[in-house]
């Protein structure tokens, strides 16, 4: 039986701030004038997004994908590398790469399980050398984004379901596998594996982790102690 390491992305390995990503697309419009207009629109909408996030997470998600409405798929794919360089790469946590290398050396198959969109995940996965991705996809009509996500929307229970399905297909023992996430929304995914690790946990997740005696990992700091089942490898 193989074992796998499942990684959440946003907040776990890096902080991909939605507003900076939207601002990026606005700034890089085809025409300079339109860029300025779009950028102002994003600036105006910042407080709105902030309020929405406080009010309801799922509404926030729906609105955040709506921001892609009307964008051409070619442009989303064509700008993905630049988006990564500009907004994502600087926000990777200092210990993220070490962690991923460690799990790889220990024989885990690294898999990204994330709600982020496929074209944005690609350069990140290449950067970390992760070969397998489970992620969301935008819906397109005639190459233009409709602003909706193709079902099933990858979040909460759906993440747990998809890793179970993956494990069944790829002959992976979930009890031997580990998962990393920062948010209590990923509790189903964390509970599905034998070695869950609360990584840069939010307050709620920290509480649950302490209760269930799960290891807690801080990747944001420049030096951190990996949980025992990972640090074994370092001795070898």
Partner 1 sequence: MKSRTIWRWDPVRGEYQPGPARPLEGTGEISAIDAFRNNTILLLGCTGFLGKVVLAMILDRFPELKHLVVQVRRKKNISGEQRFYSDVLLSPPLRPAVEHIGERTAREKIQVVEGDLDQPLCGISAEHLKRLRGKVGVVVNLAGVVDFDPPVNESFEPNVYGTQHLIELTKLLDAKLVHVSTAYVAGKQNGRISEDTPIPGYFPRRGERENEHFSVPEELNWYEQFVKETRESRTTNPRPVRERLREGGMQRAAYWGWTNTYTYTKSIGEQLIARTPGLSYAIIRPAIVESSLRCPFPGWNEGFTTSAPLVLMGGEGVKGWPVRKDGPLEIIPVDIVAAGILIVTAAVLCGKHKHVYHLASADQNPIMLPRLVAFLGMNSRYKHKHKKSGSRLANIWKAYVETQVITVESLQARRARLHRGLEVIHAVLTLGKTLFGGERVGPFLKSLRDTRRQIRAQEITLDKFLPFMFHNSFIFVTRNIREAARMLTNEDLRRLKWDPESIDWADYWVNIHTKGIEKWIRPVFTVKKAGREF
Residues near partner 1 (CB under 8 A) are 28, 30-32, 73-75, 77-82, 85-86, 118, 122, 125-126, 130-135, 137, 139-144, 150, 162, 166
Q: In this complex, which beta carbon is closest to partner 1, that of residue 119 or of residue 226?
A: 119
Q: How far apart are CA 22 and CA 67, in angstroms?
A: 8
Shortest distance, position 50 Cβ to partner 1, whole Å: 29
Shortest distance, position 162 Cβ to partner 1, whole Å: 8
Rounded to an integer, what is the distance from CA 209 to the centroid of its chain? 20
Q: In this complex, which beta carbon is closest to partner 1, that of residue 122 or of residue 220?
A: 122
Give the chain as a DSSP string. Answer: -BEEEEE--BTTTB---HHHHHHHHHHT-SSHHHHHHHHHHHHHHHHHHHHHHHH-HHHHHHHHHHTTTT-BHHHHHHTHHHHIIIIIGGGB-TTHHHHHHHHHHTTEEEEEEEEEEHHHHHHHHHHHT--EEEEE-EEEETTEEEEEEPSSP-SHHHHHHHHHHHHHHHTB-GGG-EEEESSGGGHHHHHHSSEEEEES--HHHHHHHHHHT--EE-SSSSS-PPPHHHHHHHH-
Shortest distance, position 205 Cβ to partner 1, whole Å: 25
Rounded to an integer, what is the distance from CA 142 to the centroid of its chain? 27
Q: In this complex, which beta carbon is closest to partner 1, that of residue 74 or of residue 211?
A: 74
Shortest distance, position 158 Cβ to partner 1, whole Å: 12
Shortest distance, position 73 Cβ to partner 1, whole Å: 6
Q: In this complex, which beta carbon is closest to partner 1, that of residue 82 or of residue 105?
A: 82
Q: In this complex, which beta carbon is closest to partner 1, that of residue 22 or of residue 162?
A: 162
Q: In this complex, which beta carbon is closest to partner 1, that of residue 89 or of residue 204?
A: 89
Q: In 10 A of CB 20, how many CB atoms?
A: 16
Shortest distance, position 123 Cβ to partner 1, whole Å: 9
Q: How far apart are CA 116 and CA 9, in angstroms?
A: 8
Shortest distance, position 173 Cβ to partner 1, whole Å: 18
Q: In this complex, which beta carbon is closest to partner 1, that of residue 156 or of residue 201?
A: 156
């Amino acid at each position: 039986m193989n074992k796998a390491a499942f990684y959440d992305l946003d907040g776990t390995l890096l902080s991909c701030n939605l507003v900076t990503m939207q601002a990026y697309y606005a700034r890089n419009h085809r025409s300079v004038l339109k860029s300025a207009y779009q950028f102002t629109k994003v600036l105006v909408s910042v407080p709105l997004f902030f309020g929405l996030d406080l009010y309801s997470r799922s509404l926030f998600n729906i609105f955040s994908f709506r921001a892609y409405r009307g964008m051409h798929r070619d442009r989303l794919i064509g700008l993905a590398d630049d988006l990564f360089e500009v907004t994502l790469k600087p926000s990777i946590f200092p210990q993220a790469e070490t962690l991923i290398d460690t799990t790889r050396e220990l024989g885990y198959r690294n898999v990204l399980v994330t709600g982020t969109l496929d074209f944005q995940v690609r350069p990140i996965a290449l950067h970390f050398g992760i070969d397998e991705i489970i992620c969301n996809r935008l819906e397109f009509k005639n190459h233009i984004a409709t602003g909706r996500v193709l079902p099933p929307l990858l979040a909460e229970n759906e993440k747990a379901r998809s890793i179970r399905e993956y494990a069944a297909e790829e002959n992976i023992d979930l009890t031997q596998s580990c998962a990393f996430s920062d948010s209590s929304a990923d509790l189903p995914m964390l509970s599905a594996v034998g070695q869950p690790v609360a990584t840069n946990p939010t307050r709620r997740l920290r509480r649950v982790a302490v209760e269930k005696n799960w290891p807690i990992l801080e990747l944001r700091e420049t030096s951190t102690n990996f949980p025992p089942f990972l640090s074994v490898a370092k001795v070898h």
